[in-house]
Amino acid sequence: MNLRVLRGFFFVAAFAVASTPLVLAHHEPLAKFDDKKPVTLTGVVSLVDWRNPHVHVFMNVKTGAAGDLANWAIELESPIDLEESGWSHDTLHPGDKITVEGMAARNGSRQAWGRSVVVSTTGRKILNSTVAPPPMPLQAHPTPRWPDGQPRLGGAAAGTQGYWAFPSATALVESGVNAPMDAWGLLKNIADAPKVAPMQPWALKLYTERQRRFLQDDPMYLNCKPPGGPRQFQLSPGLQLVEDRTHQRVFVLIGSGNNNYRIIYTDGRSHQGQVGGDDENPLFYGRSVARWEGDTLVADTRGFNEDFWFTNGGLPHTDQLKLIEKLSRPNYDTLKYDLSVDDPGAYTRPWSASWTLRWVADREMPRHLCQENRS
């Protein structure tokens, strides 16, 4: 092999390195960054990479008296989250001098999670990624209904837009248990792990290890796997319920993850697989059949596979998992979600959880694709 051949080889090798996907895509920040390593950086923006699943701001920071520069990558929330809090891709430009406060990467690389970004010349704080739900009306609006009186779970009236978001709980915890967690289901105190749900010893140990690893093994972020089970109703970008009354089914569409969908059949069918491809195969979303009990849609789901986490935070499940989900809309702005979990493979007894979601009116559901691990 002569020099030119070698040069070509190394050029493509460098391309291969550069194109290698990041191991962690949209993720629990603590999986990658250490909240015990606070960092404050002042420097000049060199590039703003406005992309899912995380926006990155690259900045040159002076190191030492000699004026040497080091380039840091500041990781921020997704474009959707930043836009919700007033950012746009034009908020920062190369050449802007900024001060960033955040936490440094666990692996010691020049990466930080940005908690605060201030433009040095104006003192304007431009990062405020706290996204709040829309305010509730002082007097609750009535539940929208179909002409036959059945509640409309998925919409308001023909032609109007909207979706469900802002779940009041973003990780599964048994009803009545107080176990504080962050938005990704990471326990504030690992000693609370046994309280979260009545886990068998192996499941508790596995859950604890997942927590100790800061949820970095989550297959939804790692491998773009669907968020089966109740996790669909815990995702921050929200979901849509599309009621197909002609064919007696409800579609659950998610605006994040791999943008997959689940079907809840309301046509009286059995749990046996009846659609080509789902005959008796365990599935990410299982097989859901539902019936109306008054104003509540009661979905019975089983036939899950074991290739996903069914909640933020990493509670284990097995293919013996059976879920009863009760969906109701007590008023215009609220979806109530009551869940019963029965999995004798992972838990010592059935248990339940409950939370609500808020209606986001007059808006399309934001789309946030996990993009097969490519960020």
Partner 1 sequence: MVNCLGKLKVVLAACGLLVVCMQLAVVPVTAQEGHPLKGSWLGTWAGNKALGNDVLIVMTWDGKNITGTINPGTDNIPIKSASLNPEGWLVHIEADAKDKAGSALTFVIDGKIENLPLASRSITGTWKDNKGGTGAFRIGRQ
- Tell me: does residue 53 bind partner 1 (CB under 8 A): no
* Interface size with partner 1, residues (CB under 8 A): 41
Task: For the segment 313-332, give every residue that binds partner 1 (CB under 8 A).
Answer: 316-320
Identity of the residue numbered 316: P
Rg (C-alpha) for the chain, rounded Å, is 23
**Alpha carbon distance, N-terminus to C-terminus of the chain:** 36
Nearer residue to partner 1 within complex by CB, 217 or 295: 217
In this chain, which of 225, 302, 329, 358 binds partner 1, going by CB under 8 A? 225
Task: Give, in degrees to the nearest 5, the angle at Cα 219 between 214 and 221.
Answer: 70
Amino acid residing at 95: G
Nearer Cβ to partner 1, position 255 or 257? Answer: 257
Q: Which two tokens stand for residue 285?
A: 């979303």
Does position 198 bind partner 1 by CB under 8 A?
no
Residue closer to partner 1 by CB (options 251, 284) is: 284
For residues 323 and 325, what is the distance between their CA atoms, to the nearest angstrom? 6
The DSSP code sequence of 75-113 is E---HHHHHHTT--TTSS-TT-EEEEEEEEETT-SSEEE
Q: Decide: is 35 part of the binding site for partner 1 (CB under 8 A).
A: no
Q: Which stretch binds partner 1 (CB under 8 A): 72-80, 104-112, 305-313, 329-337?
A: 305-313
d(CA 148, CA 100): 56
Least distance (Å) from partner 1 to the CB of residue 23? 7
Q: Measured on CA atoms in the order 116, 223, 174, 261, is the torsion positive or negative?
A: positive
Select from 94-102, 166-174, 182-190, 308-316 the region that touches partner 1 (CB under 8 A). Answer: 308-316
Contacting residues toward partner 1, per CB under 8 A: 1-2, 5, 8-9, 12-13, 15-17, 19-21, 23, 200-202, 204-206, 209-210, 213, 217, 219, 222-223, 225, 306-309, 316-320, 344-346, 373
